[in-house]
């Protein structure tokens, strides 16, 4: 079966959704991501949906599930790149995606993840002041 690739970058997992997602593909992504977070101990997941032309209640539910599931596994999920027309439509559809973190683009999404995960730099010690 076709799968959406999950890339690993250090403590993070990156997913780019590039296709008109089939229901089965979306469900498989949910399972694959759960397994990968558990296996790698990844602390952050970035999902780029800039190629998605619609988000309906089905995809919305998958996105909510992924983000809820990642919290249980002590990771954060950020959704990036939602097209403006998709965002406008979501509001009217009534889909609020509670608890789902979003950012404008990959760069801002990574910045948000880094803040959330707050990995201490090497050589840092506990009583270092914040800067």
Partner 1 sequence: MRNSETLPLTNESDIIFARREVRSRGSEIGLSLVDVTKLVTACSELARNTVVYGGGGTVTIEPLSNGVRKGLRLIFEDQGPGIADLNLALTDGYTSGSGMGLGLSGARRLCNEFEIVSVVGQGTKVTVAKWK
Ligand X SMILES: Nc1ncnc2c1ncn2[C@@H]1O[C@H](COP(=O)(O)OP(=O)(O)OP(=O)(O)O)[C@@H](O)[C@H]1O
By CB under 6 A, name the binding residues for ligand X. Answer: 57-58
Q: Are 61 and 69 in contact (CB under 8 A)?
A: no
* Residue 86: CB minimum distance to partner 1, A: 6
* Residue 76: CB minimum distance to partner 1, A: 22
Pick between residue 7 and residue 93 the one whose CB is nearest to partner 1: 93
Residues 112-131 that bind partner 1 (CB under 8 A): none
51 binds partner 1 (CB under 8 A): no
Task: Name the binder of 95 from partner 1, ligand X, none, CB < 5-8 A by kind.
Answer: partner 1
Pick between residue 2 and residue 121 the one whose CB is nearest to partner 1: 2
d(CA 51, CA 56): 14
Residues 16-35 that bind partner 1 (CB under 8 A): 20, 22-24
Pick between residue 9 and residue 58 the one whose CB is nearest to ligand X: 58
d(CA 11, CA 108): 17
d(CA 73, CA 106): 22
The β-bridge partners of 80 are 48, 103
* Residue 94: CB minimum distance to ligand X, A: 9
* Residue 66: CB minimum distance to partner 1, A: 15
| Both structure tokens of 102 | 């979003």
| Both structure tokens of 49 | 């949906």
Determine whether 42 is exposed, middle or buried from the number of CB atoms within 10 Å of its CB (0-12, 13-18, 19+).
buried
């Amino acid at each position: 079966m076709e799968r959406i690739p999950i890339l690993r970058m250090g403590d993070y997992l990156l997913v780019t959704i590039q296709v008109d997602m089939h229901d089965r593909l979306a469900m498989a992504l949910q399972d694959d991501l759960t397994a990968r977070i558990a296996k790698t101990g990844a602390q952050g997941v970035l999902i780029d949906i800039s190629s998605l032309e619609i988000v309906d209640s089905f995809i919305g539910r998958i996105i909510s599930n992924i983000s809820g599931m990642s919290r249980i596994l002590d990771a954060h999920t950020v959704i990036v790149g939602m097209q403006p027309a998709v965002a406008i439509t979501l509001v009217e559809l009534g889909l609020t995606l509670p608890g789902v973190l979003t950012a404008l683009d990959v760069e801002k999404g990574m910045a948000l993840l880094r803040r959330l995960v707050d990995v201490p730099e090497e050589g840092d010690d506990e009583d270092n002041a914040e800067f």
